[in-house]
Amino acid sequence: MIDITLTEEQRIIKDMVERFTEKEIAPIASEIDEEEKFPEEIFRKKMGEAGLLGVLMPREYGGSDAGVVAATVVIEVISKVSASVALSFGAHSVLCANNLKENCSPEQKERYLPALISGEAIGAMALTEPGAGSDAMGITTTARNEGDEFVLNGTKTLITNGPVADVLLVYAKSPACTDQRIPISAFIVEKDSPGFSVGKRIHKMGMRGSPVSEIIFEDCRVPFENLIGKEGQALKMLWSGLNVERVTLSGICLGILHSCLDTASHYARERQQFGRPIAEFQMVQKMIADMSTSKTAAHLMIYYAAQEADKGRRINREAAEAKLFSSEAATRAALDTIQILGGYGYTREFPVERWMRDAKLMEIGAGTSQIMRYIIAKELLSSP
């Protein structure tokens, strides 16, 4: 039997995040979207002071070490108000900081984790390239070993937090590692590194308050001590990090599902047509029933996978299933909520159209729905 009851610590974190988002983020959620505004002061100062940025981080560096379930809770709660802020939180705390925690040397952790936890530094992960999205192994950014430093060349794109990041986890190929089939290396790159620059900022349909840009490496010089692990052997690190990313970021979908169901249900009870509330119409009831069922199923799938991750278990299939189902369910729920609100749903006076735009990204980022289906089928069909 699956038990997804939150622990006392996780409930305390949830209550705290709810109070924080209601006070700090909710009043400016529309502004964040409309102005494509990253709330840098809230992110760097207030989220750091509240302890949100350290939810996955070890206590010795200032974190709370609360685990994957707690991080998913934080993302879900923030997403009910602003999926943009939740996405930037995930890029910072999960894609960057958590991967550093799991794979860096003690010296590297001591140097970088405290600043990421406090908000003094904002983190990002740079993997995607113009010619390598779903095919992550097709990256062409290279890292040339020159003894006491590496020289990186290439371009990354669609990097969440790219325009504001101080510290980036960067994946590149090491051509000199001929003993490896896919010689991927991982590096910590600081924004003031020689040869590093932020390229054009990319304007998106949704998640507009989560900044995205190109990252350019032109003979970018990175100290040898910023290599994570061994040269050419970061492939396992890359795959394990993607699973945690998929589970936690699925919390965004769950947050959107919550908001859609609440709004659709309230509106259906209040809106009168043909002399009675539209909640009495069977087609409206069907959409609301489907939303509720999807929310419950997504909740179970996401938090089961998160619990398994906290136990250190392999979650390739579970993470893919959670992300696939929740992302597609969130998009359907947003579209159905717009339909229930009718003309009002299509206006920008209600946040539903924002939820629809935000939800669609979740079928693409962190692995498309097509890639998720491929992973699920491969896991099932390769088992005896």
- Report the alpha-carbon distance of residue 87 to residue 339 in Å, rounded: 26
Phi/psi-derived region of residue 218, left when phi > 0, alpha when psi is between -120 and 50, beta in every other case: beta
- Report the alpha-carbon distance of residue 202 to residue 112 in Å, rounded: 27
List the beta bridge partners of residue 132: 129
Specify the amino acid at residue 328. E
Catalytic choice (245, 318, 353, 363): 245
- Report the alpha-carbon distance of residue 191 to residue 215 in Å, rounded: 10
Task: Measure the CA angle with vertex 185, ends 180 and 190; round to 5°.
Answer: 170
- Report the alpha-carbon distance of residue 322 to residue 297 in Å, rounded: 9
Q: Is residue 276 packed enough to be buried (19+ CB in 10 Å), middle (13-18) or exposed (0-12)? A: exposed
- Report the alpha-carbon distance of residue 334 to residue 355 in Å, rounded: 6
Asked if 157 and 177 touch (Cβ cutoff 8 Å), the reply is no
- Report the alpha-carbon distance of residue 287 to residue 158 in Å, rounded: 34
Active site residue 245: yes
Which tokens is 357 given?
Answer: 């735009």
Active site residues: 245
